[in-house]
Amino acid sequence: MAGLALTACGTVSDEKPNVVIILADDLGYGDISMHGSQIQTPNIDRIASEGIELCRHYATPVSSPTRAGLMTGRYPSRFGIRETVIPPWREYGLPEGEETMADVLGRNGYENRAMIGKWHLGHGRQAFYPLNRGFTHFYGCLNGALDYFTHERDGELDWHDDWDSCYDKGYTTDLIADEAVECIREYSKEGPYFLYVAFNAPHSPYLAPEDEIAEHIPLEEFKALSKKDQKGWTYRAMVSRMDKGIGRILDALEESGQMDNTIILFMSDNGGVPGMEPYCTNKPLRGNKFQEFDGGVRVSGAMYWKKGFKQGGRKISEVTSFVDILPTLADIIGVKEAPENPYDGISIYPLLKGDTETIDRTLYLGVGAAVNRDWKMILAGRNPGLGLKKDFLSDMNGNPYEKGNNIEGNEDVAEEMKSFIIQYDTITPAQKELPYGFGKEGFKAPEEWKVTKP
């Protein structure tokens, strides 16, 4: 029999919940239908409408840092993975000494733990491979920016089934959903399980099946458009195709009879990319991917667990984040021992089950930024792409979309926020973070992205 877990009602369940985390890649905040998009995303909407919408859920401005924090419950500043992603020509990854969500769940009764989709936390050494980071199964790609049809990155196949190259044919979004469905059907017979389903959609390159594009615009019209507009309509098709895949995952959970005792998290790794409006948008938020304005770091988020959360149309406007997920799961399944490396995130379980309505916390967003219920601070000069000439403070109650600087008259708040940021900005990371392009010149991808170094 599996271990015991408390439900929201304070009674004891004889089964720990399954855990299914669904991560989108570069999804704009305004690109789901419940946020006003013309792109129809009924399945993402369903997780929020039947569960809980996390209205102020934060990540980092780019992919690998968010994934690192999600998997560890710790700020990626500690790992040297904070200002940029792990590119193909980089050998480092999530440090070996960091315990992952899969490690924690594996020690607490979750025999089956699958990583499906985009890893992006290290590919140069076997030590960084998902199967050495607590997962029992891996199906997908090691890098980002994969070709959706050839499954290649830098001219080499980057599609894997555990340690082996995988030659499955098809559109990666469909293959990821297929594998998740198969895992649910298999694992649901064997006790609680963990699925980390990381879609590479709707990240570039912008590619979608013609049948999906045709659901948005007649193909004759599409082919007559400019390249920019073709890219935009393709992006919309990529989002809707991902939503259909999520729908198939939800259907499989229902068919298994375990939907009610499955924790489902949906979120994006960062905001949508610049230069793609009106097709990809973060409105009404300011900014985009690569920026610490909310458009880059405040992402669509929703959680569902019928047996354990007070849910069904609830909206939570407290600050929640990517680093809160592991501490929350540890709390839910009754992990007693303290983590060897202390979490930076907090358990939001009391908030989710309705025991409290508020959280008093300040969240570090990386690269000179932090946010709490009332204020958001971005330090000038940390991210040159923001163009800030002075420190930027936003009153998140009176100025939620960061339209102007509220630092004047609030210097005491600004000083307190700045001190908080600096203590994390000045952390000496476990490994030196190198500029994105360092090592690119002359790089040649290994054959089929084989992992050979220990």
Alpha helices in 35-119 (DSSP H): 42-50, 63-72, 101-106
Does residue 382 carry a pLDDT above 50? yes
Question: Any idea which residue has 């995130």 for tokens?
Answer: 345
Does residue 108 carry a pLDDT above 50? yes
**Which residues are paired to 362 by β-bridges?**
372
pLDDT bracket for residue 15 (50, 70, 90): confident
DSSP character at residue 385: G
Please tell me whether residue 128 adopts helix, strand or coil conformation.
helix
Q: pLDDT at position 425, please? A: 95
Longest dimension (CA), the chain: 61
Q: pLDDT at position 4, please? A: 30
Locate 7 and state its tokens: 């439900």
Please tell me whether residue 115 adopts helix, strand or coil conformation.
strand
Q: Which residue has the higher pLDDT, 316 or 367?
A: 316
AA letter at 74:
R
pLDDT digits (tens, 9 = 90+) for 330-347: 999 999 999 999 999 999
Q: What's the residue count for the chain? A: 454
**Class at the top of the CATH hierarchy for domain 15-360:** alpha beta
Share of the chain above pLDDT 90, in %: 94
Cβ 229 vs Cβ 251: under 8 Å: no
What is the average per-residue pLDDT within 421-426?
96
Cβ 152 vs Cβ 92: under 8 Å: no
What is the phi/psi pair of residue 377, to 5°? Answer: -125, 130
Does residue 6 carry a pLDDT above 50? no
Locate 130 and state its tokens: 């998902």
Closest by CA to 43, choosing from 245, 200, 218, is: 245
Q: Residue 322 and residue 158: Cα distance in Å, rounded?
A: 26
Least confidently predicted of 10-19, 38-47, 296-305: 10-19
Cβ 233 vs Cβ 214: under 8 Å: no
Q: pLDDT at position 451, please? A: 86
What is the average per-residue pLDDT within 367-394?
96
**Which residues are paired to 318 by β-bridges?**
none
pLDDT digits (tens, 9 = 90+) for 270-328: 999 999 999 999 999 999 999 999 999 999 999 999 999 999 999 999 999 999 999 99
Does residue 10 carry a pLDDT above 70? no
The domain spans of the chain are 15-360
Q: pLDDT at position 243, please? A: 98
Q: Taking all residues of the chain, what is their mean pLDDT, rounded to a whole number?
A: 95
pLDDT bracket for residue 13 (50, 70, 90): very low
Please tell me whether residue 273 adopts helix, strand or coil conformation.
coil
Does residue 7 carry a pLDDT above 60? no
Least confidently predicted of 12-16, 55-59, 97-101: 12-16
Sign (positive or negative) of CA dihedral 122, 127, 133, 135: positive
Cα-based angle 133, 184, 115 (whole degrees, multiple of 5): 20
The shares of helix, strand and coil residues in the chain, as percent rounded to the nearest 5, are 30, 20, 50
pLDDT bracket for residue 11 (50, 70, 90): very low
Write the CA distances from 203 to 130, 133, 208, integer angstroms: 21, 24, 11
